[in-house]
Amino acid sequence: MNNERYFRDKVAIVTGASSGIGLATATLLAKYHAKVVLAARSVDKLDELCRELSQYTDVISVRTDVSIEADCRNLIEQTVKKFGQIDILINNAGISMRAMFKDLDLSVIHRLMDVNFWGTIYCTKYALPYLLETKGSVVGVISTAGYKGLPGRTGYSASKFAINGFLDTLRSEHLYDGLHVMIYAPGFTASNIRKTALMADGSVQGDTPREEGKMMSSEKVGLIMLNHIRKRSRRATLTFTGKLLLVLTRLFPTITDHMEYWYMACEPDSPFKRRRDIMRERRNHQA
């Protein structure tokens, strides 16, 4: 069965639908003639996207701040009011951060947990009865940071680990109910998540520290996600680097820590020192 046949007339909710992976995935779902519910905070972007995708399918937009429980409840209520059911919930909305924990204002971690973790909890909680009725799919978009903590990303990794644990448990609880639960880890993807990442004081980073053009596109990430939803996969981890990281972590955890530190420290304006700077300081101290 191809994607168009599988997704036709299914009701799919996509959070964080106004940009990046969410936008790409929602667009593909519309082209496959699913009935799409777009959720994000930006009303202008949602309205524009809704007009664009309505040429393919029935689509509605619901302004949603996933960190607010009432917004998530309203999202589910508006979906059921319009379409009568829910077949797919894609918990994609999320934000990142870039700072050392020792320098971090704790409000940043609260914000990361509110959006990434609690947003997934709220939406899944209110959608679950309908997903159980249709034996539908709930997806959590995490990251390789949800399997291996990334230096300079404490709040981000913590929130993604939490989503991983929550969805893994949810799958077990409904093992015999026909519910499909998928944990999706894209790895570094070309999107605006790094531009909107929070710094130590809670301000927005603005410029990405990575070469976005060399990363996997949001469109490809969205397509692979939908392929795995159709196959009802349990987990999917993308990119060679992401898969290699998980293997090395299991086999050589200490070596992997050092490799990861060096890799992340090479970012422009890294919040922690590069390995060569540390070695230089040690040599100077010994001298």
pTM for this structure?
Answer: 0.89
pLDDT (0 to 100) of residue 106: 96
Higher pLDDT, 28 or 255: 28
- CB atoms under 10 Å from CB of 168, counted, come to 14
Which segment, 26-40, 214-228, 261-275, is predicted with the most confidence on average?
Answer: 26-40
Query: Helix (H, G, I), strand (E, B), or coil: what is residue 91?
Result: strand
| CB 26, CB 38: distance < 8 Å | yes
| CB 191, CB 20: distance < 8 Å | yes
In angstroms, the CA 169 to CA 174 distance is 9
Catalytic residue chosen out of the listed positions 122, 126, 156, 184? 156
pLDDT (0 to 100) of residue 51: 95
In angstroms, the CA 249 to CA 23 distance is 32
pLDDT (0 to 100) of residue 287: 56
Instruction: Tell me, yes or no, whether 246 lies in a domain.
Output: no
Domain count, the chain: 1
- Digit-coded pLDDT (tens) for 43-75: 999 999 999 999 999 999 999 999 999 999 999
Instruction: Tell me, yes or no, whether 74 lies in a domain.
Output: yes
The token pair that represents 114 in the structure block: 């509110």
The rounded mean pLDDT for the chain is: 90
In angstroms, the CA 112 to CA 159 distance is 7
* 42: containing domain: 3-239
DSSP track, 160-206:
HHHHHHHHHHHHHHTTTTT-EEEEEE--SEESSTTTT-B-TTS-B--
Instruction: Tell me, yes or no, whether 264 lies in a domain.
Output: no
| Range in 69-83, 144-158, 207-221 with the lowest mean pLDDT | 207-221
Query: Helix (H, G, I), strand (E, B), or coil: what is residue 60?
Result: strand
Which segment, 179-193, 196-210, 252-266, is predicted with the most confidence on average?
Answer: 252-266
Instruction: Tell me, yes or no, whether 263 lies in a domain.
Output: no
pLDDT (0 to 100) of residue 193: 55
Which residues neighbour 215 within 8 Å (Cβ) at sequence distance 6 or greater?
A: 188, 189, 190
In angstroms, the CA 30 to CA 36 distance is 6
Residue 173, strand partner residues: none
Long-range contacts of 32-36, Cβ-Cβ distance < 8 Å, separation of 24 or more: 32/3, 32/4, 32/6, 32/7, 32/8, 32/226, 33/4, 33/7, 33/8, 33/9, 33/57, 34/7, 34/8, 34/9, 34/10, 34/87, 34/88, 35/9, 35/10, 35/11, 35/59, 35/83, 36/12, 36/60
Instruction: Tell me, yes or no, whether 173 lies in a domain.
Output: yes
Query: Of the candidates 229, 224, 124, which has an alpha carbon nearest to the alpha carbon of residue 174?
Result: 124
**Total residue length of the chain:** 287
Residue 204 has pLDDT above 70, yes or no: yes
pLDDT band at 124 (very low <50, low <70, confident <90, very high): very high
Residue 194 has pLDDT above 60, yes or no: no
Task: Read off the pLDDT of each residue in 237-247 and give the average, rounded to a whole number.
Answer: 85
Residue 155's domain is classified under what CATH number? 3.40.50.720
Instruction: Tell me, yes or no, whether 259 lies in a domain.
Output: no
Instruction: Tell me, yes or no, whether 256 lies in a domain.
Output: no
pLDDT band at 269 (very low <50, low <70, confident <90, very high): confident
Instruction: Tell me, yes or no, whether 37 lies in a domain.
Output: yes
In angstroms, the CA 161 to CA 146 distance is 4
pLDDT (0 to 100) of residue 234: 96
Higher pLDDT, 257 or 191: 257
- Residue 119's identity, in one-letter code, is G
Residue 279 has pLDDT above 60, yes or no: no
- CB atoms under 10 Å from CB of 15, counted, come to 28
The answer to whether residue 156 is catalytic is yes
